[in-house]
Structure 1
Amino acid sequence: MKKLWLALGILAVTVLAACGSNTGGAEEAGDEITIGYFPNINHVAGMVAEEKDLYSETLPDGTKVNYQYFPDGSSFMTAIETGDIQGGLVGPGPAMNHFTSGAEINVVAAGSTGGTVIMARNGADISSPEDMAGKTFISPRVGCTHDVQFETLMKQEYGITSDRVDGEMKHVTGKPATYASLFEAGKVDVATVPEPWASSIEAEGNGNVLIDTPDVAYGETLPAAVFVTSHDLVENNPEMVQNIVDAHKNATDFIQENPEEAKEIAIKKIKEITDQELSEEVIDNAWERIDFTYEVDEKHLQDFANSSYDLGFLEEKPDLTGLVDLSFLNE
Structure 2
Amino acid sequence: MRLSRLWRAMTPLITAGALALAVVGCSSSGDDAKATANATPGQVSGTLRLGYFPNLTHAPALYGVEKGIFAKELGSGVTLKTSTFNSGVQEAEAVLSGALDAGYIGPNPAVNSFIKSNGEAVRIVSGATSGGAALVVRPDITSVAQLKGTTLATPSLGNTQDVALRYYLKK
With the shorter chain as reference, the TM-score category is 0.7 to 0.9
Residue 54 of structure 2 corresponds to which residue in structure 1? Answer: 39
Work out whether residues 106 and 159 of structure 2, in 8 Å CA contact, stay in contact via their aligned partners in 1. Answer: yes
Aligned-partner Cα distance in 1 for 2:162–2:97: 25
Identify unmatched segments of 5+ residues in structure 1. 1-5, 157-331
- Aligned residue among 111, 125, 130 for 1:113: 130
- Aligned residue among 20, 27, 30 for 1:7: 30
The answer to whether the aligner puts 1:139 opposite 2:154 as a matched pair is yes
Work out whether residues 36 and 70 of structure 1, in 8 Å CA contact, stay in contact via their aligned partners in 2. Answer: yes
Work out whether residues 42 and 111 of structure 1, in 8 Å CA contact, stay in contact via their aligned partners in 2. Answer: no
Normalised TM-score (structure 2): 0.72
Aligned-partner Cα distance in 2 for 1:154–1:33: 39
| SS in structure 1 of the partner of residue 64 of structure 2 | helix
The answer to whether the aligner puts 1:50 opposite 2:65 as a matched pair is yes
Work out whether residues 139 and 146 of structure 1, in 8 Å CA contact, stay in contact via their aligned partners in 2. Answer: yes
Q: Which has the larger radius of gyration?
A: 1
Using the TM superposition, give the Cα deviation of residue 93 of structure 1 relative to its aligned residue in structure 2, in angstroms. 1.2
Work out whether residues 89 and 158 of structure 2, in 8 Å CA contact, stay in contact via their aligned partners in 1. Answer: no
Identify unmatched segments of 5+ residues in structure 2. 1-28
Residue 99 of structure 1 corresponds to which residue in structure 2? Answer: 114
Residue 72 of structure 1 corresponds to which residue in structure 2? Answer: 87
Work out whether residues 133 and 160 of structure 2, in 8 Å CA contact, stay in contact via their aligned partners in 1. Answer: no
* 1:96-132 Cα distance to aligned partner (Å, 9 max, x none): 1222222621111111011322122256xx4311232
Instruction: Write the mapping of 1:172-251 to structure 2, written as runs, cut at 5 A.
Output: none
Structure 1 131/81 Cα, relative in aligned 2: closer, same or farther at 3 Å?
A: same
Using the TM superposition, give the Cα deviation of residue 137 of structure 1 relative to its aligned residue in structure 2, in angstroms. 0.4
Structure 1 119/59 Cα, relative in aligned 2: closer, same or farther at 3 Å?
A: closer
Using the TM superposition, give the Cα deviation of residue 58 of structure 1 relative to its aligned residue in structure 2, in angstroms. 2.1
Structure 1 115/73 Cα, relative in aligned 2: closer, same or farther at 3 Å?
A: closer
* Bigger share in strand: 1
Residue 21 of structure 1 corresponds to which residue in structure 2? Answer: 41
Greater relative contact order (Cα < 8 A, sep 6+): 1
Work out whether residues 36 and 67 of structure 1, in 8 Å CA contact, stay in contact via their aligned partners in 2. Answer: yes
Using the TM superposition, give the Cα deviation of residue 79 of structure 1 relative to its aligned residue in structure 2, in angstroms. 1.2
| SS in structure 2 of the partner of residue 146 of structure 1 | helix
Using the TM superposition, give the Cα deviation of residue 55 of structure 1 relative to its aligned residue in structure 2, in angstroms. 2.1
Work out whether residues 32 and 63 of structure 1, in 8 Å CA contact, stay in contact via their aligned partners in 2. Answer: yes
Instruction: Write the mapping of 1:157-168 to structure 2, written as runs, cut at 5 A.
Output: none
- How many aligned residue pairs are there? 142
- Aligned residue among 79, 86, 98 for 2:101: 86
Taking only aligned residues, the RMSD between alpha carbons, in angstroms, comes to 2.3
Structure 1 112/68 Cα, relative in aligned 2: closer, same or farther at 3 Å?
A: same
Question: Identity over aligned residues, as a percent?
Answer: 26
